[in-house]
A = this chain, B = another copy of it.
Amino acid sequence: MTSAQERLTFDRDDPVLARLAWSRLAEPGDARAARLIETVGPSEALRAVVERSGRLGGTQVGDDVGSWLARYVPRLATLDPARDLASVRRLGGRVLAPDDDEWPAGVRDLSVPPICLWVVGPASLQPLGDRSVALVGARAATTYGEHVARDLGYGLAERGFAVVSGLAYGIDAASHRGALAAAGTSVAVVAGGLDRTYPRGNEALMRKLAADGAVVSEVPPGSTPSRSRFLQRNRLIAAIAGGTVVVEAAWRSGSLSTARVAAGLGRPVAAVPGPTTSMTSAGCHALIRSGAAVLVTDAAEVAELVGRLGEDLAPEPSRSRTERDELDAVTRQVLDALPVRSGRPVGALCRTAGLDEASVVSALGRLQLRDLAERQGDGWRLAPRARSAGGGSARAG
């Protein structure tokens, strides 16, 4: 008999490799594995499985721990955490453990937190917290639902909120796209490995998120998405984000499970109403009727709901009231149309402000003179002084 110990292809005493190995051994949401790892550390926990494996060939033991550990034995031979790590690094990604600085604080609230997180993309997960919103909903969304999801994604990104969703068709994809359109941060939490694109039709979107935002998974590369992994993924979306909004959901939609987890974690939960004649709004209406969700109709209402309860609420982009009041109406309109982050071209500012190009250009000149607007790339954005003036005026007034 070959002992399981001999079959391990890596040093199980390396705590990082041992943790990554557990990410493949245990399914997401496995409470006993999580508790064992937390209690004795990943290396010791792994040793227990290997020992159990050795005894499987010999005499049967009756102890409880031994018997439930048996479920992990079949996967022992497949473990190659160094290969998994190399694989995710080839994608430009990284792995986070609970003691990493970037570990998203929200997932600590889960009764069964992830063992590690596989991440690709430039966005840091650490600062998300209350400045992030999960937008979730039906795959079989209506045109109305996708329109609302895109508007919410855009409006929240404009307000400096990261948009967290699940990369599915329908509401998820529209939410990500809205945030990306506003040059905001968007984070996709997926149910399979980072090297798997699911669904295939969202491959370009996944690449864009990996390039500009982040794609996050609880399972190692090569893992396929499954029904239970989708459910566990939903709990992760709810935990990472500061609040959850269900945009469109039928009666038995998986998005309702995301909302339930969010509520269980004490996070604000909201739902968007729709026509009572639309089955894809029935779940939203049920959430609102039962008091489990607040009715929201736009990004401002979501921002108020999620931001209000936050402890690390970022300063709202606001300007000195006096200075603003000195501006003429047209210049104020242009000021209000300026984004906080990446510059917006003049053409887009014309559309947002509802003004012609000559008016926008001359207003930008006045705003630049007052140090309230600045060029960025091909466009214009709020100058740092305009962004921070809110704090100053709050102290003064």
Contacts of A289 in B (CB 8 A): 294-297, 301
A276 proximal to B (CB < 8 A): yes
Tell me if A274 is interfacial: C-beta within 8 Å of chain B: yes
Q: How far is the CA of A298 from the CA of B281 in the complex (A)?
A: 13
Q: How far is the CB of A10 from chain B (nearest CB, A)?
A: 53
Chain B residue contacts of A285, Cβ below 8 A:
273, 295, 297
Contact B281 A273 (CB under 8 A): yes
Question: Chain A 258-301, CB within 8 Å of chain B: the 1/0 string?
Answer: 00000000000000111111000110010011000011111001
Chain A 147-201 residues near chain B, CB threshold 8 A: 147-148
Q: Of B147, B273, B298, B301, which one neighbours A273 at CB under 8 angstroms? A: B273
Interfacial chain B residues near A281, Cβ < 8 Å: 273
Count of chain copies: 2
Q: Is the CB of A275 within 8 A of B276?
A: no
* Cα distance, A275 to B288, chains bound together (Å): 15
| Chain B positions within 8 Å of A148 at CB level | 276-277
Residues of B within 8 A of A68 (CB): none
Are A276 and B277 interface neighbours, CB within 8 A? no
Closest to A282 in B: B297
Partner of A274, one of B273, B282, B301: B273
Q: Does B297 contact A276, Cβ atoms closer than 8 Å?
A: yes
Instruction: Contacts A282-B297, A285-B295, A301-B289 given; indicate if A274 touches B275 (C-beta within 8 A).
Output: yes
**Interchain CB contact under 8 A, A276 and B298:** yes
Give every chain B residue within 8 A of A147 (Cβ-Cβ).
277
Does the CB pair A144–B295 fall under 8 Å?
A: no
**How far is it, in angstroms, between the C-alpha of A289 and the C-alpha of B289 when the chains are bound?**
11
**What residues of B have a CB within 8 angstroms of the CB of A294 in the complex?**
289
CA distance A341 to B133 in the complex (A): 51
In the complex, chain B residues whose CB is within 8 Å of the CB of A273: 273-276, 281, 285, 288, 295
Q: In the complex, what distance in Å separates the CA atom of A277 from the CA atom of B146?
A: 12
Give chain B nearest CB distance to A122 CB in angstroms.
32
Q: How many Å from the CB of A197 to the closest CB on chain B?
A: 32
Q: Which residue of B lies closest to A294 (CB)?
A: B289
Kindly state the separation between the CA atoms of A282 and B275 in the bound complex, as whole angstroms. 13
Max count, chain B CB within 10 A of own CB: residue among A276, A288, A298? A276
A144 in complex: contacting residue of B272, B277, B282, CB < 8 Å? B277
Can you name 16 extra interface pairs (CB under 8 A) apart from A273-B276, A274-B276, A289-B297? A144-B275, A144-B277, A147-B277, A272-B276, A273-B273, A273-B275, A274-B274, A274-B275, A275-B275, A276-B297, A276-B298, A285-B297, A288-B288, A289-B294, A289-B295, A289-B296
